[in-house]
Amino acid sequence: MEKSRIEYLLKKIEEQTSNAGEEQEKILENILKRNAETDYLNKFLHGQTDKQLFKKYVPVVTYEDIKSYIDRIIDGEPPNILTTETITEFILSSGTSGGEPKYVLSTADCSQKRTSIPMLMEAVMHKHIEGLDKGKGMYLLFSTPDFDTPSGLKARMFSSSYLSSPTFKTTLFKIVTTPIEIILSLNKPQSMYCQLLIGLIRRHEVLRIGTIFASTFPNCIKFLQDHWKDICSDIRTGHLSDWITEPDCRTPMSSFLLEPNSELADLLEPIFKNESWEGIITKLWPKAKYIDAIVTGSMSQYIGLIDYYSGRLPIISTFYNSSEACFGINMEPLNKPWDVSYTFLPNMAYFEFIPVDKESPQKAQKLHFNGVSNEESIEKLENGSAQIVDLVDVKMGQFYEVVVTTLAGLYRYRVGDILKVTGFHNKSPKFQFVERQNVALSIDRDKTSEGDLSKAIKAAEIEFEPHGFLLTAYSSFADTWSIPGRYILFWELKLRDSNTDRLKLDSNTMEQCCRRVEESLDFTYRLYRKMNLIGPLEIRVVKFGAFDELMNFFVSRGAAPLQYKTPCCLKIKEAIEILDSRVVGKFFSNGNLA
Ligand code: AMP
């Protein structure tokens, strides 16, 4: 990226964040002016465009509340029931954390905003890390098929929409090692193979390794374990493996596999043959300066795995984004993964925030606006002393649920993410991603959020780490069929110093892990557990690669590989069965809780 372009983009960020209040006013004003006559807004505002009336009468909603409008548009009704903007496509949210995918209307404006975020982030990265323009990034990126809806509009994942956008093709694509045809190929194994092969052939140009969400990494490591011999043989012979049959992958490869290169194959093979793969990423790509992957929220479970394979390269979570709206970017990219905050960009959407009492998270749930009249909902808010606040009015240290209003027909829409204010960049707040609100394990009155579970599992590290184990992935489900019900955790463990998948699990250690997790859960859990209203927590250790199969399952159901987030709590029977069929050891918490 040219210096002048970097400076221009950084200046833009400074301008916008310095005028956060004005930018937000402008955005809302514009949305109301353009969309006041839509069926939806008209129902509450009767054509008025006053901002205070909007706040007073338009209800705060969830997807379920507006689904009937969206379904009508999918079925072919004119989109002006929700927005007067021209709809270009439907964006599908990955849906792996909340159930079925959601359909979100998208416009040219949305797609421009979506693609501007990685550009802005690129400028921030250049500011913090020198010399990025001297090489490329091996970014593992995958596209998924789109499909037609009865309306004639296409539906696709936001990652696919982004990868085929003109901005990606003309600008960002220039920094990656792989040709666009391979990235856009719909055959994921063939695309992954070629992306890694090219990345290895161009290893001395690779200055960063990345993807979008960290959950792609275990998938990629497993793939390398299964395919490194073929990859080395292709490099040695200069001939692409015959199983790569897709023209989108095969044709561009001819520019990379020009002749046999036994020197490179001789160098790579011993690295792959090494019993331990600790730090393998830096051995394969010695000039890599950092790993670009989101490791906040539920993705934090991959920090250990990435640290292990990368030899502790910095891991950079670049942005916070969703299918519904873009939120913010990480202005201090070199912060440790646990200290990452995202600065909200006030020109992306109109943002409001529902205060959440983290001491009593149920309060946020109680403020449920489904179907209630707006007066009731406002009253509930005021009585619950949880006044919805604007972006510039959030308070340092306070937790909030984010609510968005967009030009594309979302009005006061609860995204379902809980965030914590950690500071301000100029006048725009910085938020730490805390958890998704609706993902929780619960047997009785206990409510364990994604964040609570992650902390409790982290607390158990001191039990298994001294034995050389690394937790590479986890998930869970609430077993409400047993009496009493209990929490079941699936853990994928591996030995730090070896690639063997035959683990010797010591029951004492594993039982201690169960206990540590239980002791680290909240007061209500422990109380109910002591009263035997919740049964002993169980850890089921699964074979290495089991979580890879879980991802394949969700991808086969339509999740985009790039947007896939390992569900922290499983609700789908088949998904539970996939992990259950790969269990190598079951361990229970025993004894009484302190
Ligand atoms: P989707 O629309 O399927 O891509 O999912 C969007 C959701 O992914 C958000 O609402 C968040 O729950 C989660 N998400 C997106 N970006 C981040 C991030 N940087 N850190 C943690 N979670 C994120």
Local confidence band at 382 (pLDDT 50, 70, 90 cut-offs)? very low
Atom of ligand 1 nearest to the CA of 563: 4
| Average pLDDT in the chain | 90
Atom number, ligand 1, closest to the C-alpha of residue 560: 3
Strands 206-213 and 290-294: parallel
Give distance in angstroms: CA of 302 to centre of ligand 1: 15
pLDDT above 90 as % of the chain: 72
- 312: Cβ contacts below 8 Å, ≥ 6 apart: none
Contact (Cβ atoms closer than 8 angstroms) between residue 121 and residue 329: yes
Q: How far is the CA of 418 from the centre of ligand 1 (A)?
A: 11
Judged against a pLDDT cut of 70, whether residue 394 lies above it is answered with yes
Rounded distance, CA 173 to CA 141, Å?
A: 11
**3-state SS class at 147:** strand
Closest CA to 203 of 267, 133, 279, 157: 267
pLDDT above 90 (res 375) = no
| Per-residue pLDDT tens digits for 493-506 | 988 887 766 778 89
**How far does residue 239's CA lie from ligand 1's centre (Å)?**
40
Mean pLDDT of 341-355: 98
- Ordered DSSP codes for 298-332: GGGGGHHHHHHHHTS--EE--EEE-SS-EEEE-S-
Distance, CA 65 to ligand 1 centroid (Å)?
21
- Which structure tokens are listed for 355? 């205060």
Q: Give the position, in ligand 1's atom list, of the atom nearest the Cα of 104.
A: 2
Residue 87, pLDDT > 80, answer yes
Atom of ligand 1 nearest to the CA of 416: 10
What band does 386 get if pLDDT is binned at 50, 70 and 90? low
Pick the atom of ligand 1 nearest to 158's CA. Answer: 4
Distance 587 CA to ligand 1 centre (A): 32
Per the CB < 8 A criterion, the answer to whether 83 and 105 are in contact is: yes
Higher-confidence position of 135 and 297 = 135
Taking the C-alpha atoms of residue 400 and residue 414, their distance in angstroms, rounded to an integer, is 11
d(CA 389, CA 399): 12
| Average pLDDT for 98-126 | 88
How would you class 267 by CB atoms within 10 Å of its CB: exposed for 0-12, middle for 13-18, buried for 19 or more?
middle
**Cα–ligand 1 centroid distance for 294 (angstroms):** 9
Tokens of 198: 């090219």
The β-bridge partners of 473 are 492
- Residue 83, SS3? coil
> E strands, 412-485, where?
413-425, 428-436, 440-441, 448-449, 469-479
Tell me how far the alpha carbon of residue 589 lies from the centroid of ligand 1, in angstroms: 33
What is the pLDDT at residue 462?
93
Residue 593 has pLDDT above 80, yes or no: no
What count of Cα atoms within 13 Å lies in the side-chain half-sphere of residue 110?
Answer: 27
Q: Reduced to 3 states, what is the DSSP secondary structure of residue 335?
A: coil
Encode pLDDT of 537-549 as tens digits.
Answer: 999 999 988 999 9
Mutate to test the pocket of ligand 1, among 299, 321, 326, 348 (most ligand atoms within 8 A of CB): 321
Label residue 297 left, alpha or beta by phi (over 0 means left) and psi (-120 to 50 means alpha). Answer: left
* Parallel, antiparallel or unpaired: strands 206-213 and 136-139: parallel
117 vs 290: CA distance, rounded Å: 19
HEC profile for 2-17?
A: CHHHHHHHHHHHHHHH
Joined together, the tokens standing for residue 106 give 């998208």
Q: Which three-class secondary structure state does DSSP give residue 567?
A: coil
- Note the pLDDT of residue 94: 65
Distance 249 CA to ligand 1 centre (A): 30
pLDDT band at residue 379, thresholds of 50, 70 and 90?
A: very low
Q: Is the distance from CB of 298 to CB of 568 less than 8 angstroms?
A: yes
Distance 326 CA to ligand 1 centre (A): 10
pLDDT(372) > 90:
no
Residue 316 and residue 129: Cα distance in Å, rounded?
Answer: 12
**Confidence (pLDDT) at 374:** 37
pLDDT digits (tens, 9 = 90+) for 177-194: 999 999 999 998 999 999
Closest ligand 1 atom, CA of 95? 3
Phi, psi of 142, rounded to the nearest 5 degrees: -135, 145
Cα separation, 62 vs 321, in Å, equals 18
At residue 378, the 3 state secondary structure works out as helix
Per-residue confidence (pLDDT) for residue 438, from 0 to 100 = 67
- DSSP letter at 575 equals H
pLDDT of residue 301: 79
pLDDT in tens, 239-283: 999 999 999 999 999 999 999 999 999 999 999 999 999 999 999
Q: Which of 114, 322, 338 to mutate to test the pocket of ligand 1 (most atoms within 8 A of CB)?
A: 322
Q: Encoding tokens for residue 235?
A: 């490099």
Give the angle 229-283-128 at the CA atoms, nearest 5°.
Answer: 130
The answer to whether 117 and 168 are in contact (CB under 8 A) is no
Q: Whose CA is nearest to atom 7 of ligand 1?
A: 322
Q: Give dist(CA 199, CA 80) in Å, integer.
A: 46
Q: Atom 4 in ligand 1: which residue has the minimum CA distance? A: 322
ω into 78 cis (within 30 of 0): no
Contacts of 458 (CB under 8 A, 6+ apart): none
The pLDDT value given to residue 376: 39
ω into 260 cis (within 30 of 0): no
Q: Extract the tokens encoding 212.
A: 């979008």
Q: Whose CA is nearest to atom 19 of ligand 1?
A: 320
pLDDT-derived band at 98, boundaries 50, 70, 90: very low
Alpha carbon of 320 to ligand 1 centroid (Å): 6
- Residue 485: helix, strand or coil by DSSP? coil
What pLDDT score was predicted for residue 365? 42
List phi, psi (to 5°) of 385: 45, 35
Amino acid 577: pLDDT: 96
**Is the per-residue pLDDT at 357 higher than 90?**
no
* Nearest protein CA to atom 5 of ligand 1, as residue: 322
Q: Is residue 558 a contact partner of residue 479, using CB atoms and an 8 Å limit?
A: no
Number of helical (H) and strand (E) elements in the chain, helices listed first = 23, 22
Q: What's the alpha-carbon Rg for the chain, to the nearest Å?
A: 25
Mean pLDDT across 389-409: 97
The rounded Å distance from CA 242 to ligand 1 centre is 38
Instruction: Report CA(192)–ligand 1 centroid distance (Å).
Output: 23
Mutate to test the pocket of ligand 1, among 406, 565, 568, 569 (most ligand atoms within 8 A of CB): 565
Greater confidence, 348 or 527? 348
Given phi > 0 = left and psi -120 to 50 = alpha, else beta, which region is 146?
A: beta
State the Cα–Cα distance between residues 121 and 111, nearest whole angstrom: 16
Asked whether the predicted pLDDT for residue 352 surpasses 90, the reply is yes
DSSP code at position 86: P
Q: Strands 538-542, 583-588: parallel, antiparallel or unpaired by DSSP? A: antiparallel
Task: Compute CA distances 236 → 201, 221, 233, 498, whole Å.
Answer: 11, 21, 5, 26
d(CA 231, CA 236): 9
Q: Which of 131-140, 367-376, 522-531, 534-543 has the lowest mean pLDDT?
A: 367-376
Residue of 102, 417, 432, 434 with the most ligand 1 atoms within 8 Å of its CB, for mutation = 417
Residues with CB under 6 A from ligand 1: 93-94, 158, 294, 296-297, 299, 317, 320-323, 415, 417, 433, 436, 563
Q: Which residue has a Cα nearest atom 18 of ligand 1?
A: 320
Distance from Cα 188 to the centre of ligand 1, integer Å: 22
The encoded tokens of residue 345 equal 């960009």
The predicted-structure confidence for 551-577, as pLDDT tens digits, reads as follows: 999 988 888 888 888 899 998 899 999
Mutate to test the pocket of ligand 1, among 320, 418, 430 (most ligand atoms within 8 A of CB): 320
CA of 321 from ligand 1 middle (Å) equals: 6
Are the CB atoms for 14 and 426 separated by under 8 Å? yes
Is 99 a residue whose pLDDT tops 70?
no
Which residue lies with its CA nearest to atom 6 of ligand 1?
322
Lowest mean pLDDT among 390-394, 442-446, 511-515: 442-446
* pLDDT per position as a tens digit, 291-343: 999 999 878 878 988 999 999 999 999 999 999 999 999 999 999 999 999 99
Which residue owns the Cα nearest ligand 1 atom 20? 296
Q: Compute, in angstroms, the gap from residue 415 CA to the centroid of ligand 1.
A: 10
Look at the chain and count its residues: 594
